[in-house]
Amino acid sequence: MTAVLRRLFQASLFCFALFVPFSIAGMTIAFGFGALAWVATSILHRVTGPASPAAAMTLRSDPLFLAAVLLVVAAVPSVLMSQDASRALVDWASYWELLILFLVAGNVIALGMREVAFWALVVSASLSSLVGIVQRAGGLDLGFIHIGAEYRVSSTLYTMTFAGILYQLIVFDFSALLARGMRLRSRFLLSGAIALQFVAILLTMTRGAWLALVAGLVTVAMLVRGRVAALVGIVLVVMLAGVSFVNFHVQKGRSIPELIHSGLDIDASTRVVLWDIAWDLFKEHPWLGVGMGDYTIEANQMLNGRRVTTTVDSHNIYLQVLATRGLLGFVPFVIFWVVLFRSLVRLKRRLPKGSLDYQYVVGAIAAAVAVLVGGLTELNLDDGEVLMAFTFVLGLALARSYAPLIRSGKIAEVGAGSRGAALEE
């Protein structure tokens, strides 16, 4: 029975990694089987083996887990007060995807799946990027394979979602590429994968994602230093050249501020209007917000003739939380990020510099920075695919903190935020 559950768990992690850049349905199903195996294994161990007090207390005393629980619970009042209950429940459900972090971090090393999951993610992201490149090249019809032509590529997702996943993976992969001791063939393959992903994110024509990617790459450079700074500089020059090309040829050479104020850049001017509405909603409802699912309802009433392309959300995660959840929801949101960075930085300090474990953590920190910067122009963390990809990456990086240590027949599990956490050797 234990062997069957182990295989199920391994298969779920592998499939989750494959589905990350392709399908939220696939990720959800894989996560469901993984959670089932996790729970069943825990029950089986309690029934057939001696209980481990240390294991039982791991999550209960882990600051990161407690911060995640606080974030979920604090949003309940704004869910209950929402007029659009279905939208509120959908947004609230995205917070529960934080469980992916703990499922992956707590089991991926014990299952011997971390490197397998990492390379599965690299391969699937590369294939998804190839789909995007084919879309931009005019599409493809080959037997049962049909890829339609797209100006702004999206692979099998929405454009913003695709871009939001790519900048995380590029940053994480780039950090891993800098690890010492990586085989030449692996380094070559990973470099090719990063190049494909980089081309694909440029073809999404998503300026907010480009900005997030720049922030993530700069973070890697600052944390690692050395020759990486030169490599990041080259990447940034290429990106800036791409931005300049788009700005001059597609937008007739006008600067972004000119386009916003003239109304010609409808996407940018829409965001300005939505941000203004979100801030007004927060000022009117500072404590609880208007309700987790009610931004669209309120925004439609406050447009006052202003032209926008959508009112589905504020296109800014910080203003969205303030407007819909108020300070009661925003403070736990900030606490979660503070605890997350604290956990990552503490783990980074305990790892050998330049090791793959170290670079995973650096990549996770940089991906977190990229996600926060991306949140300035998109509601990325309420996007199920983006958040699930992010929690999976965090799980791979934090796995070394949660991995059980087996020494002299004793097993001690260590939480990511625990003081003096030991590491698996």
> pLDDT by residue (tens digit) across 3-29?
898 999 999 999 999 999 999 999 999
CA pair distance 384, 389, nearest whole angstrom: 9
| β-sheet bridge partners, residue 146 | 141
Alpha helices (runs of H) in 178-286, residue ranges in sequence order? 184-203, 207-224, 228-245, 256-262, 266-284
Confidence band, pLDDT 50/70/90 cuts, at residue 420: very low
Q: Give 239-251 pLDDT, tens digit per residue.
A: 666 665 665 555 5
Q: What's the residue count for the chain?
A: 425
Mean pLDDT of 197-223: 91
Q: Which amino acid does the sequence have at 342?
A: R
The structural domains of the chain, with segments of one domain joined by +, span 64-412
Judged on CB neighbours under 10 Å (0-12, 13-18, 19+), 122 is buried
What are the contacts of 141-147 at 24+ separation with CB within 8 A?
A: none
Give the pLDDT of residue 258.
52
Confidence band, pLDDT 50/70/90 cuts, at residue 384: confident
The predicted model scores a pTM of 0.90
Give the pLDDT of residue 230.
66
**Tokens standing for 132?**
């995007």
CA pair distance 11, 18, nearest whole angstrom: 11
Mean pLDDT of 57-71: 85
Mean pLDDT of 92-115: 92
The CA dihedral of 273, 213, 389, 204, to the nearest 10 degrees, is 70
CA pair distance 174, 122, nearest whole angstrom: 11
CA pair distance 185, 178, nearest whole angstrom: 14
**Tokens standing for 68?**
């995640």
Nearest Cα residue to 194 out of 213, 222, 218: 213
* Helices 207-224/356-374 angle, 10° precision: 150
Give the pLDDT of residue 403.
73
Specify whether the CB–CB gap between 388 and 327 falls below 8 A. no
CA pair distance 325, 8, nearest whole angstrom: 38
What are the contacts of 85-93 at 24+ separation with CB within 8 A?
A: 85/293, 86/293, 87/292, 87/293, 87/294, 87/296, 88/291, 88/292, 88/293, 88/294, 89/293, 90/293, 91/292, 91/293, 91/324, 91/382, 92/292
Phi, psi of 251 (to 5 degrees): -110, 20
DSSP classification of residue 290 = S
Give the pLDDT of residue 98.
94
Q: 3-state DSSP call for residue 410?
A: strand
Give the pLDDT of residue 244.
58
**Tokens standing for 407?**
């020494």
Phi, psi of 8 (to 5 degrees): -65, -45
Specify whether the CB–CB gap between 135 and 32 falls below 8 A. no
The CA dihedral of 283, 288, 290, 295, to the nearest 10 degrees, is 90
Nearest Cα residue to 59 out of 7, 24, 106, 17: 106
CA pair distance 160, 314, nearest whole angstrom: 14
Specify whether the CB–CB gap between 313 and 45 falls below 8 A. no
Q: Give 139-182 pLDDT, tens digit per residue.
A: 999 888 899 999 999 999 999 999 999 999 999 999 999 999 99
**Tokens standing for 151?**
């100006």
Distance, C-alpha 37 to centroid of its chain: 24
| β-sheet bridge partners, residue 145 | 142
Backbone Cα Rg of the chain: 22
DSSP assignments along 165-209, one per residue:
HHHHHHHHHHHHHT-TT--HHHHHHHHHHHHHHHHHHHHTT-HHH
